[in-house]
């Protein structure tokens, strides 16, 4: 049984180099516009940086996967077409996409470039995957973070594409590619604009009671003085109900499925993915290094247990979960 491929985030050239030096088999990144789902100021790559990044990665024996994974807007399709051309010209090892038109355009430009189906497409049945494989020649599918390990195993049995699964990082209450929550407040959503809680709509107010986080003027949370205030998103806001302030949609917690690496490998998962293109290079290097050690231990027939709690302090709220991988609800 082959080793699991470790796919790590690269929100900038510095992060890409840090991830590769720490042991990433592949890195995924996006261009500096709304065609990727992490469209934050100061992040991502221009065409020249992407070409240099691909050259660096290939010298180190790693792959670069370019995310063009938002949904193209009517009247703005040329931006997505341009991103596809840029990724191909840079020599990207794969393009990660969700939009049917983007997938079709990749195939029109090149019959050889490798296509990965983004988690934004939320493909979670053999029939859905078969459609993407037969229609566009998709080679790999990133599965939604709402599936259990057993469900992924059943999916692999009925699918011809490689399966990639998230194992660490932020979680969202919404099924990927189906989030409209933030757009009700900010007018922008990750599916179309590539950003949840756009920075220009975020503000913080210091008061005698602590820090108030706001999105487009709406108070989402109040953090006591001295405590760390997280980046405000509507799904992780605290709201008063029956006199008590509580997390209505989702409590701050992070996915850590390192302890399930053996189960995912045995199920047939080809690659595991780290979330966090909006984090810093120190974060990426540390997480990559920990998962590299765990995967290498697994390849040697050893337990991953010594590495499973090395990253707890990086989790939102200091809390970790295996998420839906061990879900017992229906």
Joined tokens for residue 179: 């989030």
Q: Give me the mean pLDDT over the 110-130 stretch.
A: 94
Q: Where residue 175 falls among pLDDT bands split at 50, 70, 90?
A: low
Q: Give the pLDDT confidence of 264-282 residue by residue, as tens digits.
A: 999 999 999 999 998 889 9
CB 38 within 8 A of CB 194: yes
Of 1-5, 166-170, 173-177, 270-274, which range is least confident?
173-177
Q: Does residue 20 register a pLDDT over 90?
A: yes
- Mean pLDDT for 112-133 is 95
Which of residues 93 and 196 earns the better pLDDT score? 93
User: Taking the alpha carbons of 285, 114, 41, 316 in that order, is the dihedral positive or negative?
Assistant: negative
Q: So what's the pLDDT on residue 321?
A: 82
Whether 215 and 233 have beta carbons less than 8 Å apart is answered as: yes
Which residues are CB-neighbours of 238 under 8 A, at least 6 positions away?
Answer: 220, 221, 222, 245, 246, 247, 248
How confident is residue 145, by pLDDT bands cut at 50, 70 and 90?
A: confident
C-alpha 157/C-alpha 146 separation (Å) is 18
* pLDDT given at position 178: 66
Query: What pLDDT, on a 0 to 100 scale, did the predictor assign at position 174?
Result: 65
Mean pLDDT, rounded, for 117-134: 94
List domains and CATH numbers for the chain. Answer: 5-171+253-326 (3.20.20.70), 183-247 (no CATH)
Q: What is the pLDDT of residue 185?
A: 79
Query: Of the candidates 89, 97, 79, 81, which has an alpha carbon nearest to the alpha carbon of residue 28?
Result: 97
**Mean pLDDT, residues 21-48:** 94
Strands in 30-83 per DSSP E: 63-68
- pLDDT value of residue 313: 86
Residue pLDDT, tens place only, 178-205: 667 777 777 777 766 667 777 788 888 8
Residue with more model confidence, 39 or 118: 118
Q: Please give the C-alpha separations between residue 189 and each of 37, 195, 201, 325, in angstroms, as whole numbers.
A: 9, 6, 12, 26
Q: Is the pLDDT score of 138 beyond 90? A: yes
């Amino acid at each position: 049984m082959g080793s699991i491929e470790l796919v790590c985030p690269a929100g900038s050239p510095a992060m890409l180099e840090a991830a590769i030096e720490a042991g990433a088999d592949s890195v995924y990144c996006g261009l500096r516009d709304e065609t990727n789902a992490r469209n934050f100021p100061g992040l991502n790559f221009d065409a020249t940086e992407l070409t240099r990044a691909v050259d660096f990665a290939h010298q180190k024996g790693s792959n670069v996967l370019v995310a063009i994974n938002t949904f193209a807007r009517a009247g703005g399709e040329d931006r997505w077409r341009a991103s596809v051309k840029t990724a191909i010209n840079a020599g990207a090892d794969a393009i990660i996409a969700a939009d049917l038109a983007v997938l079709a355009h990749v195939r029109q430009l090149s019959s050889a470039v490798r296509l990965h189906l983004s988690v934004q497409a939320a493909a979670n049945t053999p029939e859905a995957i078969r459609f993407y494989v037969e229609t566009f020649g998709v080679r790999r599918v990133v599965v939604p973070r709402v599936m259990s390990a057993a469900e992924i195993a059943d999916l692999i049995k009925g699918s011809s594409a490689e399966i990639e699964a998230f194992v660490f990082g932020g979680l969202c209450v919404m099924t990927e590619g189906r989030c409209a929550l933030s757009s009700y407040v900010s007018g922008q959503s990750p599916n179309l604009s590539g950003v949840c809680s756009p920075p220009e709509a975020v503000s913080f107010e210091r008061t005698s009671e602590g820090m108030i986080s706001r999105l487009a003027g709406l108070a989402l949370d109040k953090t006591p003085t001295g405590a760390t205030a997280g980046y405000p998103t509507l799904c992780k806001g605290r709201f008063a109900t029956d006199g008590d302030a509580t997390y209505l949609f989702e409590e701050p917690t992070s996915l850590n499925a390192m302890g399930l690496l053996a189960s995912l490998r045995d199920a047939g998962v080809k690659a595991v993915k780290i979330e966090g293109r909006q984090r810093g290079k120190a974060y990426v290097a540390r997480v990559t290094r920990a998962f590299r050690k765990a995967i290498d231990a697994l390849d040697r027939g050893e337990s991953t247990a010594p590495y499973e709690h090395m990253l707890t302090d990086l989790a939102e709220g200091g809390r970790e979960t295996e998420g839906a991988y061990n879900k017992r609800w229906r």
